[in-house]
Structure 1
Amino acid sequence: MTRYDRKEGDLIIGAGSTSAMITLRERVTHDGVVINLPVDHTAATVTAALVETFAAVPAHLARTLTWDQGTEMARHLDFTAQTGIPVFFAERSSPWQRGANENFNGLVRQYFPKNTDLSVHSAERVSGVVTDLNTRPRKSLGFQTPAFRFRQAARAA
């Protein structure tokens, strides 16, 4: 049985380390989410944004979250208490343990390059980028789109 419930997450940081974006990717469907954090990326801000985002995801599609060991997840126990989703941490210097998310970060950086101010992007712009990425056919999905695969998984409750 294929499980569509394992999310991987990370932050991409903007110029001057002030702005950031949370990136999330589901390991099987490749469905991605980007959350803009224009003001800060403290543990409290990241936790609040993740709780809000995961509230909109069907429960059977969000059972775990794997993250790197950044300080932005210092309140991971609060996240788990509020969502029921345990957080697992990849080993230091082991990006392959979150390979789907690292790949997604590369795709996101095509739209939001390194050393740019991420705070200038509107919610509509970020949403448009997510739509573009999730409707881009992928060879690894038999040239289906992540959006199509995610809809299939959502119906397979």
Structure 2
Amino acid sequence: KSAVRYLPDLPDIDDRPGANIYGHWECDLIHGHRHSGYILTAVERKSGFLMAAFCRTRNVECVSSCLKELFFCVPARYRHTLTYDRGKEFFGFRQVDEALQVKSYFCHPGCPGERALNEQSNGLLRQFFPRRRDFSRLTNEEIARAVALINHRPRKKFGYLSTVEQLREKGILLAVQFI
């Protein structure tokens, strides 16, 4: 007999506004080998700017706390929406929305590709943190170094400027720290 899981009323991705302004983010978790730890990722949809932080567990409280901490230093004008897959670790979205003054949305079941930029960014991060890697001793400093390298990587879509360079050209600085 299977247990019925509680599924809160989740805001649908179809209601999400377009990404023609900065401040719309896609979020996910990357797990370490045998779920030894997690990396919470957030990528800004227009710029491709990536942020990430270590998360001990994938329970709602830990993930919500990590999300609030990750976005705490991002100016409010660059925080509009957060989009997640349907992982239960994101079901604390109402508290996150209230704390950050954002609106959250969820992909359709089985469609993580609706957050394609986040999936691509997670793939880039996996170059530094492969699937077989134990995350139990991972530090935020190590994650920050990998994220900085990704954010400073030239991108064809920006005329071979990096994400950071194109944001600087536009007078936008989302980064709290550079390594």
After superposition, residues 133-144 of structure 1 pair within 5 angstroms as: 133-144=150-161
- The residue number in structure 1 matching 2:77 is 60
Cα contact 1:10–1:101 (8 A) shared by 2:
yes
Report the alpha carbon displacement of residue 55 of structure 1 after superposing the two structures with TM: 1.4
1:97 maps to: 114
Query: What is the TM-score normalised by the length of structure 2?
Result: 0.81
Q: Is the 8 A contact 2:27 2:118 kept in 1?
A: yes
Residue 94 (structure 2) pairs with residue 77 (structure 1): yes
Is the contact between residue 79 and residue 100 of structure 2 (CA under 8 Å) also seen in structure 1? no
TM-score (norm 1): 0.91
8 Å contact kept, 1:29–1:146 = yes
Q: What's the counterpart of residue 88 of structure 1?
A: 105
In the alignment, structure 1 segments of 5+ residues that lack a partner are: none
Aligned equivalents of 2:107 and 2:147: distance in 1? 25
Q: 1:33 corresponds to which residue?
A: 51
Shift of 1:153: 5.5
User: Who is 1:14 aligned against?
Assistant: 32
1:9 and 1:24 in contact (8 A); partners too:
yes
Cα drift, residue 41 of structure 1: 1.8
Distance, in Å, in 2 between the alignment partners of 1:112 and 1:144 is 25
Structure 2 unmatched ranges of 5 or more:
1-18, 174-179
2:172 equivalent among 145, 154, 157: 154
CA deviations over 1:92-116 (Å, ceiling 9, x no partner): 1212210110000000000000122
- Count of residue correspondences: 154
Q: Which has the higher contact order (CA 8 A, sep 6+)?
A: 1
Change (3 A) 1:11 1:72: same
CA RMSD of the aligned region, Å? Answer: 1.6
Q: What SS does the aligned partner of 2:52 have?
A: strand
For 1:34 and 1:3, how far apart are their aligned partners in 2?
21
List aligned pairs for 1:40-59, cutoff 5 A.
40-59=57-76
The residue number in structure 2 matching 1:124 is 141
Structure with the greater alpha carbon radius of gyration? 2
- Residue type of the partner of 1:18? S
Q: Identity over aligned residues, as a percent?
A: 29
1:36 touches 1:119 (CA, 8 Å); kept in 2?
Answer: no
Matched, 1:4 2:29: no
Alignment check: 8 A CA contact 1:66 1:89 kept: yes
Instruction: Give yes or no for contact 2:86–2:107 (8 Å, CA) kept in 1.
Output: yes
SS of the equivalent of 1:69 reads: coil
Amino acid at match of 1:24: A
